[in-house]
Amino acid sequence: MNRSPENSASHSTGPLVDQFGRGHTNLRLSVTDRCNIRCFYCMPAENVQFRPRVELLTFEEMVQFVQAVVPLGINKLRLTGGEPLVRRGLASLISQLRTIPGLDDIALTTNGILLAEQAAGLKAAGLDRLNVSLDSLDEQVFEKITRRTGLDAVLKGIAAAQAAGFDNIRLNAIAIRGLTESEIVPLGRFAIEHGLELRFIEFMPLDADGAWEESDVLTGTEIRRTLEAEFGKLTPVHRDDPSQPAVDFQFVNGGGRVGFINPVSEPFCSSCNRLRLTAEGQIRNCLFSHEEWDARAVLRSELEPAQREPAIQDLVRSAIGAKAKAHGISEAGFQQPARAMYQIGG
């Protein structure tokens, strides 16, 4: 369901707080729905229908949106896709975003295929942090998941990012029962040896084929047991940010951190502080929402710039006001969103 600007209601000024008292300070901004691999948990293998380029927001429109929501308390931004590095001129967008007062942190999630050639430019543009998706260090498993080659390019991209000066690079590994159990220890060892932070993410029902089953979920608890059997007991790390989705631990040998994002087995909806904007300008208040609010219509309207910003703010408030208490994955009657992960933004 798409809600047009006409359906938004005007709200008072102040922070973005929903009806359950959750404040929102984090924006996930998808810059494209295109990608250079085809991970089965995110998109179809072939014949993908991407949005026509004219429907995607321009960089100028993205900057306008961010400028409108920062005064509402948004101070963290993550650029996603699709694969954001396939969008030409991404460093230029980051440079523009970097000038917005009040925006404290700009991060990016990438599959790493193009990172080696872009890492230095991203750092120079002002990107603060990087998350690199890496589900396997085994070429065969990598190709089974991504349905493409490219593991070596990802590893070179990680090395280039470290050389460019990115600290605390996070590796994101999707945990899928019957497929990635063998990857847990090698990924843990790789992270320790290279000074990387590792996060395991439970497989969620956002695949384009709609084939997800709860039995496919390899839980964070199981992964933790596997890691402790190999590396020793993991020590809990205090959360500086109570809204962060990961529960973090320290390897006893001091070799780094490992975190677990468990949206299925241990939902963290009660502390969710995230808002999403799709590549074509639709506001989503949850990954699993069935409603969207049309920011592109406002950004491309005939409103004067001075009127456009409050119109966007009202639309965002409407979206936050309609946010559900929880995603309901394990509840009776749960329906997977019509849009897959690549269409929403990771």
Write out the binding residues: 28, 35, 39, 41-42, 78, 82, 109, 133, 204, 269, 272, 274-276, 286
Which positions ≥6 away from 159 have C-beta within 8 Å?
A: 116
Output the DSSP codes for 195-207.
Answer: T-EEEEEE--S--
Q: What residues form the annotated binding site for [4Fe-4S] cluster? A: 35, 39, 42, 269, 272, 286
Q: Which residue has the tokens 């931004």?
A: 77
Which parts of 155-204 are beta strand (E)?
Answer: 170-175, 197-202
Q: How many residues does the chain have?
A: 346
* Interior/surface letters 78-103, b for 16+ CB within 10 angstroms, e for the rest: bbbbbbbbbbeebbebbbbbeebeeb
Rg (CA), the chain: 20
Binding-site positions for GTP read: 28, 78, 109, 274-276
Residues contributing to the annotated binding site for S-adenosyl-L-methionine: 41, 82, 133, 204
Instruction: Give the position of tokens 């000066």.
Output: 165
CA angle 332, 341, 183 (to 5 degrees): 90
**CA–CA separation, 340 vs 328, rounded Å?**
17
- Give just the sign of the alpha carbon dihedral 331, 259, 187, 38: positive
